[in-house]
């Protein structure tokens, strides 16, 4: 058990608990929905994690993962492999940050309904090696699910982007 992880989980539990308490006690009935949609599952998952941490601390199960020495390999070569893996991990993390920041920029500039299919298609094509047609179909289905979940069912208007309304107006579509 990592004590930092447990402290962070306690902090998150307090934040989600405060969110739920404020939503129930102070918000009007129509405004409670979104904080409860986020707060209740978050609170439940944090409590579950605290329970698992307590169970591990009591000694019932103590999972500690350590790198095993490979048979027939000298120790210094294992360290070389670890340093190569760290470089590859750093590269993958930088690529994921690039996708994340690109998605945020796309949403801000062009809105959710334009950014989701483009970014999802790019990600699936370049990172998951999915064929372009299949990636585009999956991205279109995800965008439709996003539209129906937020636009139709919850009736929440997602950010249209800073440039999309002007572009649509210039093209005569809005």
- CB atoms under 10 Å from CB of 5, counted, come to 11
How do residues 106-157 score in pLDDT, each as one tens digit?
Answer: 999 999 899 999 999 999 999 888 999 999 999 999 999 989 988 888 888 8
User: Which band of pLDDT confidence, cut at 50, 70 and 90, is reported for residue 66?
Assistant: low
- Per-residue pLDDT at 7: 85
CA distance 100 to 87: 20
Mean predicted confidence (pLDDT) in 72-90: 60
What percentage of residues in the chain have a pLDDT greater than 70? 81
Residue 65 has pLDDT above 60, yes or no: no
- What is the DSSP code (8-state) at residue 161? -
Q: Which of 81, 119, 124, 90 is nearest to 102 (CA)?
A: 119
CA distance 112 to 102: 12
How do residues 3-17 score in pLDDT, each as one tens digit?
Answer: 567 888 899 999 999
- Per-residue pLDDT at 53: 84
Q: Whole-model pTM?
A: 0.53
Strand boundaries in 12-96, DSSP class E: none
């Amino acid at each position: 058990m990592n004590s930092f992880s447990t402290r962070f989980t306690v902090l998150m539990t307090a934040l989600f608990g405060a969110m739920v308490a404020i939503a129930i006690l102070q918000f009007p009935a129509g405004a409670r929905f979104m904080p409860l949609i986020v707060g209740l599952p978050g609170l439940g998952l944090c409590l579950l994690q605290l329970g698992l941490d307590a169970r591990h601390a009591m000694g019932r199960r103590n999972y500690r993962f350590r790198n095993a020495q490979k048979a027939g390999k000298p120790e210094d070569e294992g360290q070389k492999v670890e340093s190569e893996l760290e470089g590859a991990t750093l590269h993958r993390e930088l690529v994921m940050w690039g996708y994340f920041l690109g998605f945020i920029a796309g949403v801000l500039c062009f809105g959710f309904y334009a950014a989701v299919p483009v970014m999802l298609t790019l990600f699936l094509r370049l990172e998951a090696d999915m064929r372009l047609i299949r990636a585009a179909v999956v991205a279109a289905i995800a965008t439709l699910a996003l539209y129906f979940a937020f636009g139709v069912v919850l009736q929440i208007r997602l950010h249209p982007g800073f440039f999309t309304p002007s572009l649509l107006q210039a093209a005569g579509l809005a």
